[in-house]
Amino acid sequence: MIRLHLIEDHPIIYDGFRQRFRHTEDGIMVTGHSGSVNSFINEISPAAFDVIILDLWLQGEDPLENIKKIKFAFPDKPVVIFTFDESLYWINQMMTYGANAYISKKATKMELKEIIGLAYAGKIIYPTIAQDGNNPDIQKQLFQLNLVLKPTEQHILTRLVNGCSAKEIATEMKLTVSAIEKTLKKLRKSFCVKTNIELIRLLIERKLI
């Protein structure tokens, strides 16, 4: 019997996941649930579960800090990331910091069962999506992962985050407003987003600003 502890802050997702498995037929059972990583670490004994199922995006929590905390507290327990987010950036980050597997919430019961079994056995299962180098979406994301902000670009974005307008940034940097807007347009194109808000959110997630 593989005992799962699910860390998930959406009750509907938790209920749906729990109902997928029947321990008598599948050999898998959800034996615990936490709404946050801190409550999980502080309240749950390692003897109570075999595999951790972790939602990537818990409200108000940082995914990278979450996986680090869990692996520090329970270094010998397998962690399976369970999410709708198929970003190569987060796949890479979670697998680098100790996750055994990364699987979509759209996965079938059979796919989940197979991944959980492999993780329980101590295997590392890299997502198929991250291995498909011929997929245009993957090529785009790989390109984005290799992008590094220039100092001037980082300064412009930092000032933008702090509430400055393009005109104010241009005056401060002794550039034209057009030059600032062209830089932002180039960055939006490079990171495949449509607005400055989307650009800032993405770069903050990737800790580039």
Mean pLDDT lowest among 60-69, 149-158, 167-176:
149-158
Residue 78 has pLDDT above 80, yes or no: yes
Q: What is the pLDDT of residue 138?
A: 43
Residue 139 has pLDDT above 70, yes or no: no
Choose between 207 and 182: higher pLDDT. Answer: 182
CA distances in angstroms from 103 to 5, 106, 133, 138, listed in the order given? 16, 8, 18, 16
Work out the pLDDT band at 146, boundaries 50, 70, 90. very low
**Dihedral (C-alpha) 68, 73, 76, 80: value to the nearest 10 degrees?**
-50
| Vertex 27: Cα angle to 2 and 122 (nearest 5) | 40
Work out the pLDDT band at 198, boundaries 50, 70, 90. confident
Q: What is the pLDDT of residue 209?
A: 73
Q: Are 164 and 200 in contact (CB under 8 A)?
A: no
Mean per-residue pLDDT, 40-45: 96
Q: How far apart are the first and last CA of the chain?
A: 45
Q: What is the pLDDT of residue 168?
A: 94
Q: Does domain 147-205 have CATH number 1.10.10.10?
A: yes
Q: What is the pLDDT of residue 189?
A: 79
Q: Are 85 and 104 in contact (CB under 8 A)?
A: no
Residues 6+ apart with CB under 8 A from 137: none
The CATH 3.40.50.2300 domain(s) of the chain lie at 2-131
Is the model's pTM score more than 0.75? Answer: no
Average pLDDT, the chain: 85
What is the tens place of the pLDDT at every residue in 100-127? 999 988 888 898 999 999 999 998 887 7
Mean pLDDT lowest among 4-8, 79-83, 107-111, 131-135:
131-135
Q: What is the pLDDT of residue 16?
A: 86
Q: What share of the chain is helix, strand, coil (3-state, %, to 5)?
A: 55, 15, 35
Residue 99 has pLDDT above 90, yes or no: yes
The CATH 1.10.10.10 domain(s) of the chain lie at 147-205
Domain covering 2-131: architecture: 3-Layer(aba) Sandwich (3.40)
Q: pLDDT exceeding 70 applies to what percent of the chain?
A: 88
Q: What is the pLDDT of residue 172?
A: 92
Q: What is the pLDDT of residue 68?
A: 94
Mean per-residue pLDDT, 138-164: 71
